[in-house]
C-alpha cells in the first residue's frame, strides 16, 4: 500500500526528470511518462480511490500536492523552452517597459479650458442632438425654407427633405429657447457637419462653440463685456477685440468679432494677412422673431448669442497646420 514516503520520493524523481529536460522532444516524452494516460503520477492519483478511509485525508492531500507540483514544473519548463527557442534570455529582474501615457484630444483640452472660463462667469454647459430636423436647424432660427442664407451651409441630409446632420450648434439654442424659461446662460460646444471638400483648412466635420444668454434687460453692452472678458482670459490681457456690423439671420443687430493677432500683436503678419486682426466669431442680439416664436415678449425679454469655430482656435493653440490632423486618428509617439 502507498505511503507518505513513497509519494515524496515520486515527487522528487518527477521534478528531477523535469529539470533535466533540454528540448521539446524530451519535454513531450517526460510529460507523457509523468502525467500521460499511463504516467507515473497518473497511476498514483488513481490509487486515491483505493485508500482506506482513515488514510484518504492525509495521503489524499499529498497525492494532490504531488500532481500540482509536477504540473507546475512542466508548465514552467514549457515556457522556458519557448523563450529559448526564440533566442530570448529570461531575466525576471529586468524592469518592464513603461506604457505610453496618453492625453486628451487637443479639441477637448481647449473646450475644457473655455468651459472653465464661462463657468466662472455663471454659465452652464449644454448639449443636444447632432441629428436634427429642418425645423430646429433652420426654421426656428429665423431661416425659413426660401431664405438665401441656407445656401451658405452645405447641408448633409440623412432623409430629405427633413432629417439632417446639424450644420451649426445654433440648433441647440433653438431647443433651449423652446424648453427653458429665462433667465439663463449657456455655452454649447459640439460637432457640426457640412458638405465641404476636405483640405488643410476645411473639413466635413468640425467643432463650434455656441453661447446664449436670455433674460430681462440684456443688452449689447453685456455681450461685449462677456466676450471681452473671455478673450482676455483665454488669449491674455493684452489681446484686444473689435466689433464690426455683420448680418446673421438669428440675431438683430449682428456683429463680427475680431481679436488682435496673437502672432504679431497687431503689427501685421502672414497669419492675419497684414491686417493685424483675426476674425474669431459671429454674435448679436437674439432676433425678436425667435423670441416671439416661443411665446415671449421681445419688449420684456432679450438676449444675446454667439458662435465660434473651435478648430482654428485649437490649431493656433497647438501649432497645427492642417485641420485634418485633428480627425485622422494618427497618434504620433514622441
Contact by Cβ (8 Å): 173, 141: yes
**For position 333, what pLDDT does the model report?**
42
CA torsion, ordered 214, 219, 224, 227, to nearest 10 deg: -10
**For position 334, what pLDDT does the model report?**
38
Q: Is 329 exposed, middle or buried (0-12, 13-18, 19+ CB in 10 A)?
A: exposed
Residue with cell 507523457: 32
**For position 293, what pLDDT does the model report?**
94
**For position 109, what pLDDT does the model report?**
95
Q: How far apart are the first and last CA of the chain?
A: 68
**For position 3, what pLDDT does the model report?**
75
Q: Which three cell numbers stand for residue 22?
A: 533540454
Distances in whole angstroms, Cα of residue 96 to Cα of each of 91, 92, 99, 246, 308: 11, 9, 9, 60, 46
**For position 90, what pLDDT does the model report?**
57
**In sequence order, what are the beta bridge partners of 22?**
none
Q: Is 333 exposed, middle or buried (0-12, 13-18, 19+ CB in 10 A)?
A: exposed
**For position 113, what pLDDT does the model report?**
96
Q: Which three cell numbers stand for residue 55?
A: 488514510
**For position 171, what pLDDT does the model report?**
94
**For position 147, what pLDDT does the model report?**
81
**For position 85, what pLDDT does the model report?**
60
Tens place of pLDDT per residue across the chain (334 aa): 567 788 788 888 888 888 888 888 888 888 888 888 888 888 888 887 777 777 777 877 888 888 888 888 889 888 888 777 655 555 677 787 887 777 889 999 999 999 999 999 999 999 999 999 999 999 999 888 888 877 777 889 999 888 999 999 999 999 999 999 999 999 999 999 998 888 887 888 999 999 999 999 999 999 999 999 999 999 999 999 999 999 999 999 999 999 998 778 778 887 788 888 988 999 999 999 999 999 999 999 999 999 999 998 898 788 787 888 888 876 664 3
Amino acid at each position: 500500500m502507498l505511503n507518505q514516503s513513497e509519494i515524496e520520493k515520486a515527487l522528487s524523481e518527477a521534478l528531477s526528470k523535469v529539470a533535466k529536460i533540454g528540448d521539446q522532444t524530451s519535454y513531450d516524452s517526460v510529460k507523457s511518462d509523468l502525467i500521460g494516460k499511463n504516467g507515473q503520477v497518473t497511476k498514483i492519483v488513481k490509487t486515491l480511490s483505493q485508500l482506506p478511509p482513515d488514510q484518504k485525508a492525509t495521503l489524499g492531500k499529498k497525492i494532490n500536492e504531488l500532481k500540482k507540483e509536477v504540473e507546475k514544473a512542466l508548465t514552467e519548463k514549457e515556457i522556458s523552452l519557448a523563450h529559448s527557442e526564440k533566442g530570448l534570455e529570461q531575466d525576471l529582474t529586468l524592469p518592464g517597459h513603461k506604457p505610453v501615457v496618453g492625453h486628451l484630444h487637443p479639441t477637448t483640452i481647449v473646450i475644457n479650458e473655455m468651459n472653465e472660463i464661462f463657468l466662472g462667469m455663471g454659465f452652464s454647459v449644454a448639449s443636444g442632438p447632432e441629428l436634427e430636423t429642418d425645423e430646429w436647424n433652420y426654421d426656428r432660427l429665423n431661416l425659413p425654407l426660401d431664405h438665401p442664407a441656407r445656401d451658405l451651409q452645405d447641408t448633409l441630409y440623412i432623409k430629405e427633405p427633413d432629417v439632417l446632420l446639424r450644420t451649426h450648434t445654433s440648433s441647440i439654442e433653438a431647443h433651449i429657447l423652446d424648453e427653458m424659461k429665462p433667465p439663463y446662460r449657456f455655452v454649447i460646444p459640439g460637432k457640426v457637419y457640412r458638405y465641404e471638400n476636405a483640405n488643410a483648412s476645411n473639413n466635413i466635420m468640425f467643432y463650434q462653440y455656441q453661447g446664449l444668454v436670455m433674460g430681462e434687460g440684456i443688452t449689447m453692452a453685456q455681450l461685449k463685456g462677456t466676450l471681452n472678458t473671455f478673450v482676455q482670459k483665454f488669449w491674455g490681457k493684452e489681446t484686444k477685440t473689435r466689433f464690426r456690423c455683420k448680418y446673421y439671420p438669428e440675431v438683430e443687430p449682428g456683429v463680427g468679432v475680431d481679436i488682435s493677432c496673437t502672432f504679431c500683436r497687431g503689427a501685421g503678419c502672414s497669419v492675419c494677412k497684414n491686417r493685424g486682426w483675426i476674425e474669431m466669431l459671429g454674435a448679436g442680439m437674439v432676433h425678436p422673431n425667435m423670441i416671439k416664436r416661443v411665446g415671449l415678449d421681445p419688449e420684456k425679454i432679450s438676449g444675446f448669442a454667439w458662435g465660434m469655430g473651435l478648430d482654428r482656435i485649437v490649431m493656433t493653440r497647438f501649432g497645427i497646420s492642417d485641420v485634418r490632423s485633428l480627425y485622422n486618428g494618427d497618434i504620433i509617439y514622441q
